[in-house]
């Protein structure tokens, strides 16, 4: 029995030396600012969640992940875990309560309940005529306005760890995450990566909310955000490219594990942010799967993963 079952992924929390520069990147990436204080920046997507990305002012650092829990009872249970913070009122825009835990890599894991909701933001509607649905836009022209992606919601966070075994055990035991795909190299017992999803019973959830990669260092590999559709991935790519100052890392392609259409960009401090659309969704009944690196860590289409991305981890 897990300590709690994380009900949702809420945010990634980073530290950046310059909030103006951070906001410029995040706005170009497709977030919308919901609040900014003297030393913190809160960005949202189009879904009615208060914020999905937090930047604190300070030397570049990955601080940790925030997950929603379903009830205050879950907070009370979490607060009894060894090393837990106790229940705190969150002194940040959106409010809410939280319990802070520390994962085996030293990162802060916030379990959160009761953050204020916000109104959904309007999105560019874009109806696509394809497959058997050729008449969905009958008589109407497709004209997609150029501009940044429309980030909808946060999808997953990816860590590299020098101790993947302890890390997976911790996330599964404390957050109730379920393995979707364990990736092995050579022998099946040599797990080099693991994709894990939320346990929401019969409800279907993204193929992964947390991916852990075994590596020689510990740090954030990337933060990942869902965008509206395939045009949004492409428009976002062109928008980022048009700025002439952001480093493109990998994409556009379609993953095997999770099946998303992806595109990866670095922020000014090298932290990778992903746009994706169209994920596989599974519920708690799906069995854990084992897949070899050769079969799993490739693309269904698009460029092969660059070594630089495989090795990437920012503490
Ligand atoms: Fe990803």
What's the CA-to-centroid distance between 311 and ligand 1, angstroms? 14
Measuring CA to CA, how many Å separate 300 from each of 136, 254, 272, 306?
27, 5, 21, 15
**E strand or H helix that includes residue 204:** none
**277 alpha carbon to ligand 1 midpoint, in Å?**
11
Ligand 1 centroid to Cα of residue 146, in Å, is 24
Rg (CA), the chain: 19
Give me ligand 1 centre to Cα 213, in Å: 12
Q: Are 165 and 214 in contact (CB under 8 A)?
A: no
pLDDT for res 125: 81
Determine the distance separating the centroid of ligand 1 and the alpha carbon of 261, expressed in angstroms: 10
How far, in Å, from the CA of 250 to the mean position of ligand 1? 11
pLDDT tens digit sequence for 177-231: 999 999 999 999 999 999 999 999 999 999 999 999 999 999 999 999 999 999 9
pLDDT tens figures, 87-130: 999 999 999 999 999 999 999 999 999 999 999 999 988 899 99
Strand 108-113 and strand 61-68: pairing?
Answer: parallel
CA of 135 to the centre of ligand 1 (A): 33
Strand order in the sheet with 299-301: 289-292, 178-184, 191-197, 210-214, 151-161, 219-227, 272-277, 261-266, 248-255, 299-301
pLDDT tens sequence across 241-288: 999 999 999 999 999 999 999 999 999 999 999 999 999 999 999 999
Q: What is the mean pLDDT of residues 78-94?
A: 97
CA 208 to centroid of ligand 1, rounded, Å: 9
Burial (CB count <10 Å: 0-12, 13-18, 19+), residue 117: exposed
> How many A from CA of 262 to the centre of ligand 1?
7
Q: How far apart are the CA of 86 and the centre of ligand 1, in A?
A: 32
Give me the residues paired with residue 196 across strands: 179, 210
Mean predicted confidence (pLDDT) in 63-67: 98
Q: Residue ranges per domain, the chain?
A: 8-118+149-310
* Interval between CA 252 and ligand 1 midpoint (Å): 12
Packing angle of the helix pair 19-29, 230-243 (nearest 10 deg): 140
Rounded to the nearest angstrom, the distance between the alpha carbon of 231 and the centre of ligand 1 is 18
**Neighbouring residues of the ion ligand 1, judged by CB less than 5 Å:** 224, 274
Give me the chain's average pLDDT, please: 97
Residue 128 backbone zone (phi > 0: left; psi -120 to 50: alpha; other: beta)? beta
Q: How far apart are CA 181 and CA 257, in angstroms?
A: 7
CA 273 to ligand 1 centroid distance, Å: 8
Strand, coil or helix: what is 166? helix
* CATH 3.10.180.10, applies to 8-118+149-310: yes
- Tokens standing for residue 105: 């890599």
Q: Is the pLDDT of residue 38 over 90?
A: yes
Banded model confidence at residue 61, pLDDT cuts 50, 70, 90 = very high
Tokens of 30: 């497709």
Instruction: For residue 156, report the distance from its CA to the centre of ligand 1, in Å.
Output: 7
Q: Based on the number of CB atoms within 10 Å of its own CB, is 220 exposed (0-12), middle (13-18) or buried (19 or more)?
A: buried
User: How far does the centroid of ligand 1 lie from the alpha carbon of residue 197, in Å?
Assistant: 13
Q: What is the Å distance from ligand 1's center to 300 Cα?
A: 14
User: Cα(212) to centroid of ligand 1, in Å?
Assistant: 11
Looking at residue 85, its pLDDT comes to: 98
């Amino acid at each position: 029995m897990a300590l709690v079952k994380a009900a949702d992924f809420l945010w990634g929390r980073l530290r950046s030396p310059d909030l103006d520069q951070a906001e410029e990147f995040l706005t170009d990436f497709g977030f919308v600012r919901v609040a900014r204080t003297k030393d913190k920046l809160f960005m949202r997507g189009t879904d009615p969640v208060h914020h999905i990305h937090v930047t604190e002012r300070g030397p570049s650092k990955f601080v940790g992940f925030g997950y929603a829990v379903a009830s205050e009872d879950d907070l009370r249970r979490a607060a009894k875990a060894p090393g837990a913070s106790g229940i705190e009122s969150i002194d940040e825009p959106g409010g809410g309560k939280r319990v802070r835990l520390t994962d085996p890599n030293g990162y802060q894991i916030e379990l959160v309940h009761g953050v204020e909701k916000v109104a959904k933001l309007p999105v560019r509607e874009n109806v696509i005529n394809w497959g058997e649905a050729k008449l969905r836009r009958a008589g109407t022209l497709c004209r997609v306005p150029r501009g940044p992606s429309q980030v909808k919601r946060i999808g997953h966070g990816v860590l590299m760890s020098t101790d993947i075994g302890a890390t997976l055990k911790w996330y599964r035991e404390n957050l109730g995450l379920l393995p979707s795909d364990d990736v092995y190299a050579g022998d099946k017992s040599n797990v080099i990566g693991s994709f894990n999803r939320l346990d929401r019973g019969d409800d279907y959830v993204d193929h992964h909310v947390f991916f852990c990669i075994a590596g020689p260092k510990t740090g954030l590999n990337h933060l990942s955000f869902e965008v509206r559709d395939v045009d949004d991935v492409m428009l976002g790519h062109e928008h980022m490219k048009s700025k002439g100052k952001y480093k493109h890392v990998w994409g556009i392609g379609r993953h095997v594990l999770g099946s998303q259409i992806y595109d990866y960009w670095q922020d000014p401090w090298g932290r990778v942010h992903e746009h994706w659309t169209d994920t596989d969704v599974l519920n708690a009944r799906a069995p854990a799967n084992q897949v070899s690196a050769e079969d799993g860590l490739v693309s269904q289409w698009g460029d092969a993963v660059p070594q630089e991305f495989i090795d990437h981890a920012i503490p």
